[in-house]
Amino acid sequence: MINQMKQIHFKKLIVTVPPELKIQFKQIHRRELIMTNFVFGIFGIIGGLLCAFADILFDLKGKNNVKSSPVRIIDSNWQIMSEWRFNVSILVAAIGVPLYSFSFLGMANQLAQSNKTVAMAFLVFSVVGASGGLFIHTSICLLPIISKTLTKNGVNKDIVENVIVRIYNTVKIPLSIMFFSLVIATSAVLIYAIFRSYLNVPFIFVFLNPLGLILTGWVFRLINKKIFSDLPGIIMPSVGIAMIGFMTVLTTL
């Protein structure tokens, strides 16, 4: 009997919660979500910049570098680059990738306030891309390590090239799909969201995203391939990811 009375009393309390209090709870929850997304955006900026540093470590090859192999993935300057650079690059990326993944969640949360379909599309592409972020980076860093190790042990140059090409051909399909999802698909969704006013950020971010910055890097190389063979092109995808974190922060302010 006592338990029944308690249950009835509890149900009455639920029914009689003032509407003003419900609104306050919703406002508190919204503020907490915005603050969480703000923090996630900061994580994204840091993670993207860390990955840009990791890109410099493994991909800043210096002067007189020559690409070889049928798919042009082998660099002559690998042999004069210190192996610690590739090892540290993987470690830095292992920190950066999880950090920028948080900003994808924050961005999806912010987009969901305007259009849930667009938010879901961004979340799907970003999860697929981010899940392969470290895989992409590690795969690329392992190629020079393997090449240097085989060369130091006196393995024939043609055999070294064949091994590197076979490894690349093994991973290129998932690598390409994940890179497309991480860089191109996420950027396309964000550009669409900006044009449709689902994302309240300055229009310049139509260009300041992974895809836009990659294209900018290519333009620099077209202008002068010798001067811009490495920078800024090699860091543009990661800087673009940092921009997603920056956009996430801006949408919370």
pLDDT tens per residue, range 241-253: 999 999 999 999 9
**Mean pLDDT over residues 38-56, rounded?**
97
Residue 105 lies in a domain: yes
Q: How confident is the model at residue 30 (pLDDT cuts 50, 70, 90)?
A: confident
pLDDT at 10: 47
Cα–Cα distances in angstroms (integers) from residue 20 to residues 16, 27, 113, 179, 209, in the given order: 11, 11, 22, 48, 41
Helix (H) / strand (E) containing 93: helix 83-112
Query: Is 203 a residue whose pLDDT tops 50?
Result: yes
Query: Is 5 a residue whose pLDDT tops 50?
Result: no
Our measurement of the distance from residue 233's CA atom to the centroid of its chain's CA atoms, rounded to an integer in Å, reads: 16
Residue 191 lies in a domain: yes
pLDDT-wise least confident of 55-69, 133-147, 165-179, 199-213: 55-69
Residue 5 lies in a domain: no
Number of domains in the chain: 1
Residue 4 lies in a domain: no
Task: Give the number of other CB atoms < 10 A from CB of residue 223.
Answer: 9
pLDDT at 16: 60
Name the residue with higher pLDDT: 173 or 6: 173
Name the residue with higher pLDDT: 5 or 32: 32
Q: How confident is the model at residue 211 (pLDDT cuts 50, 70, 90)?
A: very high
For residues 140 and 97, the answer to whether their CB atoms sit within 8 Å is: no
224 conformational bin, left if phi > 0, alpha if psi -120 to 50, beta if neither: beta
Cα–Cα distances in angstroms (integers) from residue 246 to residues 38, 115, 125, 175, in the given order: 9, 20, 19, 26
Query: Is 31 a residue whose pLDDT tops 90?
Result: no
Residue 2 lies in a domain: no
**Burial annotation 161-182 (CB, 10 A radius, 16+ → b, else e):** beebbebbeebeeebeebbebb
Distance CA 218, CA 220 (A): 5
**Mean pLDDT over residues 168-175, rounded?**
92
Amino acid at 8: I
Query: Is 182 a residue whose pLDDT tops 90?
Result: yes
In 3D space, the residue among 135, 134, 121 whose CA is nearest the CA of residue 196 turns out to be: 121
183 DSSP 8-state letter: I
**Mean pLDDT over residues 139-156, rounded?**
93
Residue 127 lies in a domain: yes
- Main-chain dihedrals φ then ψ at residue 102, nearest 5 degrees: -60, -40
Distance CA 206, CA 197 (A): 12
188's CB contacts (< 8 A; 6+ apart) are 211
Q: How confident is the model at residue 29 (pLDDT cuts 50, 70, 90)?
A: low
Residue 10 lies in a domain: no
DSSP calls for 15-69: HT--HHHHHHHHHHHHHHHHHHHHHHHHHHHHHHHHHHHHHHHHH---TT--EET
pTM of the full structure:
0.88
pLDDT at 21: 65
pLDDT-wise least confident of 18-32, 57-71, 118-132: 18-32
pLDDT at 142: 94
Mean pLDDT over all residues of the chain?
89
Residue 14 lies in a domain: no
Query: Is 207 a residue whose pLDDT tops 60?
Result: yes
Query: Is 7 a residue whose pLDDT tops 70?
Result: no
- The domain of 192 spans 19-252
Chain position carrying tokens 């509407």: 19
